[in-house]
Amino acid sequence: RKETLLSLLFVLSTAAVGCADMSVDAGSRSPIYGLGFCNVTDAPMKEVSAEWTVAGDTHGETVGVLGSRMTKIVRGGPRPIPKEFVVKWQTADGATHSQKVERPAIKPDEEHFSGDVWFRISGDGASIVPLTGDEEVRRGWGRRDFLK
C-alpha cells in the first residue's frame, strides 16, 4: 500500500511539472513579446535573421526562408528590449544584405511592452516597427500588407 501511494504521488508530481510553462527562463519578465520578420517585397528571401549584443555576447534569431509578402514571429524576445539589431537576409538574386538598425522608442512603457517588434525588410533595406497587440489588430494583422 505504501509503494502504491508513493508511485501515485510520483506520477502526479511528474505530471504537474510536465504541465508547467518551462519556456520562461529565470530572469525573464512578463509580458512576453515577439520578434516579427516581415518581407514586404515581391520576391522570397532566405537566411533571414536578426542579431543583437548584450554585455558583449551576441545573440540572435533566425527564421530562414521568408516568402514574398510573408511574416514569421518568434515568441519570447529578450528583456530589456535591445535598442540596436543587425538584420541579415539574402535576396532571390543571391545578394547577401546586412544592416544595423536602431529600434525607435517604445511608448508609453517600454518595460511592460506587449506585442511584437517587427523587422520590416523592403527593397530599401530594413527598419524596425514595434506594435502592440492592439495596434496589430487595428492594422489588420494577418493581411499580407499590414506593415506596408
Please indicate whether residue 97 or residue 1 has the higher confidence score (pLDDT).
97
> Can you tell me the distance from the alpha carbon of 103 to that of 81, in angstroms, rounded to the nearest whole number?
9
User: Which sign, positive or negative, has the C-alpha torsion 71, 88, 34, 17?
Assistant: positive
Please write the tens of the pLDDT for every residue from 84-109. 999 999 999 999 999 999 999 998 88
> Can you tell me the distance from the alpha carbon of 87 to that of 97, in angstroms, rounded to the nearest whole number?
8
Q: What is the DSSP letter of 143?
A: B
- What is the CB neighbour count within 10 angstroms for residue 108? 7
Q: What is the DSSP letter of 69?
A: T
60 Cβ contact partners less than 8 Å away, ≥ 6 residues apart: 49, 50, 51, 52
Q: Are 48 and 92 in contact (CB under 8 A)?
A: no
Q: Provide the grid cell at 36.
A: 516579427
| Residue % of the chain over a pLDDT of 90 | 53
Q: What is the mean pLDDT of residues 36-42?
A: 94
Please write the tens of the pLDDT for every residue from 113-144. 989 999 999 999 999 999 988 888 888 776 65
